[in-house]
A and B are shown apart, each in its own frame.
Chain A
Amino acid sequence: MSEPTEYRPGNAGDFDRLYQAAYPRLLRTVYAVLGDRAAAEDCVQDAFVRAFQAWPRFRPDRPAEAWLHQIAINGAISYRRKMRLRQVGELLRRLGRPPEEADPAITAITGEVVAAISRLPVKLAATFVLRHYHGYSNREIAAAMGVSERMVGLRLAQARERLARDLGPAWGLPNSVLPRVPVSKSGDA
């Protein structure tokens, strides 16, 4: 991850440049995490709103895109939590009724791999995408997500193992080669 441009905190023009440079990458990250294009666009726009409010306090020594990723991933975690609560509410309302068919426009995900990633817990999915799509180092991921490098390694291993189980042996390594990593129930380790 390279940060060729320097941004001046509080400068609106610089923030516009940052928006244009980082928006597509952020959208792809959040889309892989949530598996929903519309929700991803909504989360990323909200992340930019929060970032713009905090822009005067931005520390230039920190990579701007990693900072934005942290805000966007936190927003995705909140979104996923809200959706889970909503699903529980709908489930309670629909008790005893025949199940409705899911809207294909909402559930359709272009690819099988991204669909599997979006089924991972948010922190595992985000770590996986930052490492293997954006090419962040473990140290950069640790700085962006506010965890230790060791935790990043653990999350990557957990994500790999879950993806291999979800997608089947055709996509992953054989189970005997996969590292033995304790998988937490919530997956938000």
Chain B
Amino acid sequence: MPDRLVTRMRAELDAVRPAYPRAAHARYRRAAPAHANARRPLAGLVMAAAAGGLAVVALATLATGSPNPQVWTIRVAAGLQRLQEPKAEPTPAPPSAEPTPPVIGAPEPERSPSLPAVPPTQRPQEKPQPTDNGHDGGDHGGDHQSPRSSPRPSDSAPPGR
């Protein structure tokens, strides 16, 4: 490389004399530093928490109609009590597990649908059914027939035989 070209280039570039570079005036000082970027997620979390808190306050105010937190507490306690009430109902249920024998002739009390219904075959205990199925022929409707316990006329031997 000829020295003349390099010498001339150096002279031309040396003529470029920037003002004393003050770091205080540098652009990087005004730009966001790297550690500020690390704070951004934290700031975002804080903002999200604040927004969530405001939303909760607004919802509670709308739901209860009062901005008073004491009113919210009372409403919440009442709501919890209401929720607990249906759970308390099944506790008296065990005594009803042993059904009292119905009084004949008395009107049958209405049973709650939750309680097990007593099978109808157990109700007329005072009327034992005969086990003679030979004449039924598989007809289940024979239960409604009348009193099989009473001897049929054909079965009973005539007094004359």
Contact = CB atoms under 8 A, between A and B. Distances in A.
Interface of A: 10, 12, 15-16, 19-20, 23-24, 27-28, 31-32, 37, 41, 45-46, 48-49, 51-56, 110-114, 117, 129, 132-133, 160, 163, 167, 171-173
Interface of B: 1-2, 4-6, 8-18, 20-23, 26-28, 31, 33-35, 37
A171 to B, nearest CB: 5
Q: Most B CB atoms within 10 A — which of A28, A32, A160, A172?
A: A28
9 contacts: A10-B34, A28-B14, A55-B34, A111-B15, A113-B12, A132-B9, A133-B9, A133-B13, A173-B2
Contact of B1 (A15, A16, A37, A160): A160
Contacts of B2: 171-173
B5 A172 contact: yes
B13 A48 contact: no
Given A31-B13, A56-B34, A110-B16, A20 B23 contact: yes
A188 B33 CA distance: 33
A24 B31 contact: no
B12 A110 contact: yes
A interface: dominant SS: helix
Given A113-B8, A163-B5, A173-B2, A23 B13 contact: no
A23 B19 CA distance: 10
B32 to A, nearest CB: 8
B1 A27 contact: no
B28 A52 contact: yes
A153 to B, nearest CB: 13
A173 B23 CA distance: 43
Contact of B16 (A10, A37, A48, A56): A37
A132 B6 contact: yes
A99 B34 CA distance: 46
Given A20-B23, A28-B13, A113 B18 contact: no
A171 B31 contact: no
A171 B5 contact: yes
Nearest to B37: A53
A38 to B, nearest CB: 12
Nearest to B13: A28
A9 B18 CA distance: 26
A132 B1 contact: yes
